[in-house]
Amino acid sequence: MGEFAISVPGESCVRWRASKARSLFGVLLVNRNIVVGKERLRELLWPDIEGPSTSLKVAVHALRRTLDDHLGTDRGHLRVEFRDFGYIMDASDDVVVDFHEFERVTTAAREAAVRGLREEALDLYRRAAALYSGEFLSGESDSWVIEHRHWLRAMILSVLDVLAEYAFEAGEFADAADACRRTLAIDAVNEAAFRRLMMIHARRGELQQAEQWYALCAQRLREQFEVDPDHDTRSLRRRVLSREFVEGVRPGRTGHRVHDGISNRMGSIV
| Per-residue pLDDT tens digits for 150-189 | 999 999 999 999 999 999 999 999 999 999 999 999 999 9
User: How far apart are the C-alpha atoms of 197 and 6, rounded to whole Å?
Assistant: 38
Q: Which DSSP state fits 96? A: -
pTM listed for this prediction: 0.84
Is the pLDDT confidence value at 69 over 70? Answer: yes
Q: pLDDT tens digit string along 30-55?
A: 999 999 999 999 999 998 887 678 99
pLDDT at 10: 66
Is the pLDDT confidence value at 248 over 70? Answer: no
pLDDT at 260: 43
CA atoms within 13 A on the CB side of 140: 29
Residue whose C-alpha is closest to residue 106's, from 134, 129, 79: 129
Mean pLDDT over each residue of the chain, to the nearest integer: 88
